[in-house]
Structure formats: C-alpha cells, structure tokens
Amino acid sequence: MKRYLPYVLVVTVALVTFGSGFALYRAKIAAAPPGAKSGPASGAHIRGPKTAVVTIEEFGDFQCPPCAGMAALLKKEEEEYGGKLRVIFHHFPLPIHVHARAAAHAAEAADLQGKFWEMHDLLYKEQGAWSKVDSVAPLLEGYAKSIGLNGERFEKDMKDPKVIERVDADQKLGSSRGVTSTPTLFINEVLLPPDQTNPAGVKKAIETALNGKPKP
C-alpha cells in the first residue's frame, strides 16, 4: 500500500488544483481559436473503438502536472462512457520540463513492445518521483521492467531514431494545429477552449458531442 501512496497524493493534488493550476501551464492558442476544427482525428495511440461517438484527442506532456490530472480524468470518463468514447494521445513535451522528452521516448519504446498505454499510465502515476530526479534513465528502465518489458531492448529502443521521430512528428502535428501548451484537447476535431479544459468543461463537451446538449 505504501508504494502507491505517492501516486495517490499526486493524483489527488493534481485533480484538486486542476482548475487553478492549469493556467500556469497554458498559453493562449493563437493559431487555432476556440471552436476551430482540426483535421480528421487520427494517431498511433488510441484507446477505444472506432465506432465511438466521441473522440478526444489530447496533446500531452508526461511531466506536466495538469496532464497527470487529465489522464486520471479521461480514464474515469472512459470507464463511464465505455464504447461511446475513444481517446487518442499525442506527444507534446514542453521545453520547460527537462525529462518530458525522455519520458515520451520511454512511452514510444514501450509501444514497440506493445505496451504504450501501460507505460503512459505508469509515467503519470509515478510523475511525482521521476520528474524530480537528476538522472531519469534508471527510473524509466525500472518502470519498463515493472510492466514486463525486455529491459535490454527497451534501453536500445529509447535511442532508436524511429522513436525520436515519432515524438517529433506528434509535436509538429500539434504545432500545425495551434497547440502551444498542455494538456490541449480536441473533441470530435473541435478545439476545447483553454478555460474549459477542466473536469466540468470536459464532461459538458462530451455530453454535448453525444446528445447535442449537456446533462442538466
């Protein structure tokens, strides 16, 4: 139980401060005004069926505290809406977070062994630990082994040009769609305004996409 305590604390704090702390990690999205449509929803990392009525695309940074809160929130919404909801994750590591790019590479290296989402969830779960160390590699390698990855292959794949290119491609995609900060969400290809990227706003947007109007 003790080993999970840091995660519980991190997620609790992230969710409680989600609305107020979020503004510190976002800038105005100039290239894509609120309500603007993006291109067709697609991506390498998808959770949920193609037949889902609602697709949420997230551009996220593994070292961003509000993104950890968003990961917990989206997981909760997936459980609530089931097959009606599909989530797509895109990398958008921010320069201000020194380990964000390494974490993104770790998630992509895990994907090469079929465990992207397991690493995605674990990185957010343990964000409070790995984000504060000077050398992140040993912790990332430990996480890889904990989810059943081949450690030697993981270390090699972390440096694979294909892994680096995947992360760069996501970031270029985000920039082309006006993303400047994280978490940024597109719901059914429409940008969710920054001031609505919070639990209440996400819930309302999902209900609107499902029924044309939110629940009262």
Please report whether residue 216 resides in a domain: no
Q: What's the whole-number mean pLDDT along residues 182-203?
A: 96
185: domain CATH number is 3.40.30.10
**Average pLDDT, whole number, for the chain?**
85
Please report whether residue 185 resides in a domain: yes
Task: Report the number of distinct structural domains present in the chain.
Answer: 1
Concatenating the DSSP letter of every residue in 72-94 gives HHHHHHHHHHGGGEEEEEEE---
**pTM (2 d.p.):** 0.81
Task: Indicate if the pLDDT at residue 180 is higher than 90.
Answer: yes
Domain span at 170: 2-211
What's the pLDDT score for residue 215?
55
Please report whether residue 112 resides in a domain: yes
Please report whether residue 44 resides in a domain: yes
Please report whether residue 173 resides in a domain: yes
**Structure token digits, residue 117:** 């989402």
- pLDDT (tens digit, 9 = 90+) per residue, 36-45? 444 444 568 9
Residue type, 63: Q
Task: Indicate if the pLDDT at residue 87 is higher than 50.
Answer: yes
What's the pLDDT score for residue 43?
64
The dihedral built from the CA positions of residue 49, 55, 60 and 62, taken in this order, carries a sign that is negative
Q: Between the CA of residue 194 and those of 3, 64, 69, 144, 182, what are the distances in Å?
A: 34, 15, 15, 33, 10
Residue type, 155: E
Query: HEC string of 41-76?
Result: CCCCEEECCCCCCEEEEEEECCCCHHHHHHHHHHHH
- pLDDT (tens digit, 9 = 90+) per residue, 120-153? 999 999 999 999 999 999 999 999 999 999 999 9
What's the pLDDT score for residue 11?
40
